[in-house]
Amino acid sequence: MARIAARPKPTIQKTLRMHNTACPECARTTRSACFSRRTVATLGGTCGLQVQVRCCHNPFCEQRGRFDRVEEEGSIALAEHEFGLDVMALVGVLRYRRHRGVPEIHQELVVRPRFSRTNRRTA
């Protein structure tokens, strides 16, 4: 279904950089190709991710021209998804452990405060 309203502006900004800058094939240092931007909805709020993308420029390497992204990105959200893993886990718990229907899950997500973990109200 198409989005009828604009996505809210990110409340949290994170920059993810690669710690391992060596090419896995030839062990030479890779270069930063660009920074990819994406927005992910998490329980802590809307998170704007800036992800470093690196590439090997060794002409004799089999990995040449292949882009590597930060591994930490996969711990926040799945590739090409707009919801974080924490939201997916909560929906899974509500659906399969507590046997809630889609309208009840939607209501639970709407009621949750969209603040960072430090500003969250205690329930």
The reply to whether 28 falls in a domain is yes
The reply to whether 116 falls in a domain is no
Q: Phi and psi for 101 in degrees, rounded to 5?
A: -85, 175
> What mean pLDDT, rounded, does the chain reach?
86
The reply to whether 117 falls in a domain is no
Spatial distance between the Cα atoms of 88 and 28, rounded to a whole number of angstroms: 38
User: What does the DSSP 8-state code read for residue 77?
Assistant: B
Domain that holds residue 26: 12-111
The reply to whether 101 falls in a domain is yes
The reply to whether 79 falls in a domain is yes
Q: Report the interhelical angle of 102-111 vs 85-92 (nearest 10°).
A: 130
Q: What is the total count of domains within the chain?
A: 1
Spatial distance between the Cα atoms of 52 and 92, rounded to a whole number of angstroms: 30
The reply to whether 5 falls in a domain is no
- Output the pTM of the full model: 0.74
Confidence (pLDDT) at 1: 67
The reply to whether 6 falls in a domain is no
- Per-position pLDDT tens, the chain of length 123: 677 888 888 999 999 998 888 998 899 999 888 999 999 999 988 999 999 999 999 999 998 888 888 889 999 999 889 899 999 999 999 999 999 999 999 999 888 866 434 444 433
